Structure 1
Amino acid sequence: MSNVTQVMFLRRAANLAGNYVLAPLLGRSSTSTYWYLPDPTNLRSEEDLARYHNFSPSPFYVIDYRTRTTYEFTSPDGILRLPYPNPIGPQINPEAAFQCALGWHDRYVLDGSDGARERFFLYADYFAERQTPTGDFNYLFDWFESTAPWHSALAQSRGASMMLRAFLLSGDDRYVRAALLALDRFDVDCSAGGYQAIF
């Protein structure tokens, strides 16, 4: 192993230790402290399921992401950022942001929390304006083998859930168009740039 490779390995190990070990112990914000926030289910009984099916105007999300709204690391425009180790630095991760948005949605529909509706629509509008013509909610930073811009099936589906709820709350067709566009390539094979893989 060359000296340069050893230094890169040690830096990576230090970043991982800081992110996954030190940050949680010291109570600092990190990517790991976001991903490991508790996420209980909103569906615990048959009554909860019936309430979900009959909820109006917009159903609460099946996972309770309300704790995500307590994470205080945001961009200047109010969208959640995750503090990735250098050289990446703070970035908007669409999947993380959609979880936070769904948490704001549920703070509004379940708790009637002041300002939660506006925070939810801040996210819906931000991503509706940045969705690509092919429906992608892009990641704008490199991550291992993924070179920016890249996208993920998980973020696409969670983004569609957020946009559907924005439509149900507002009646604005641009949100339902964004939801449908986000799901457009789920029946297209991965080799053709879609999300479908058959094993």
Structure 2
Amino acid sequence: MRIDLLVEGYVDATVASRLLAHCDHETGTTYGKQGWNYIAQKINAFDKSLGASGLLTLVDFMDTGAACPGALVQEWLPRPAAAHIFRLVVREIESWILADRRGVADFLGISIVKIPSNPEMIADPKQAMINLARGARSKALREAMVPRSGQAASEGPLYSTELARFIIDHWDPEVAQENSPSLARCIVRLNQLHNV
């Protein structure tokens, strides 16, 4: 099935496309990439305009500031179209990426014991990823992903590019879902779309 994407940013789009390929779907058009506020404002319009394609919407739960995922889904989109999968990533997209512990460890050239076994419990998964990158074996990877000292940037200059490269070439959703219940639920729903 062809499935369009409504996502917060570039890394989210890369994860979503990788998930679609993993579940034997085709990636359609990518919308959004303007943060969670854009999605909050537009999600109903996208839902109502679904045509032959499905739609996968991903929002980092921690970005919304909401107290309960279920309540947020009810507030934003209480009755989604059958071919619209609206998933809250617990806590943010880096949680799903870190859930492939072996993949991340090999990518960064660090011990797997340094990768948290329950990434959905990390308070700030993106910061955790950056902190792990500080110990990367490759100097080029450290310089790409870690913010330079004395600069206000929260991430390195090529953080998203390097993370996307990992997702495309190495990230294994099948393994990752074992350490991320919210990712596992997303994969189940994507597989169910084959019957819609």
Question: Does TM-score exceed 0.5, indicating one fold?
Answer: no
**Structure-2-length-normalised TM-score:** 0.25
RCO higher in structure (CA 8 A, sep ≥6): 2
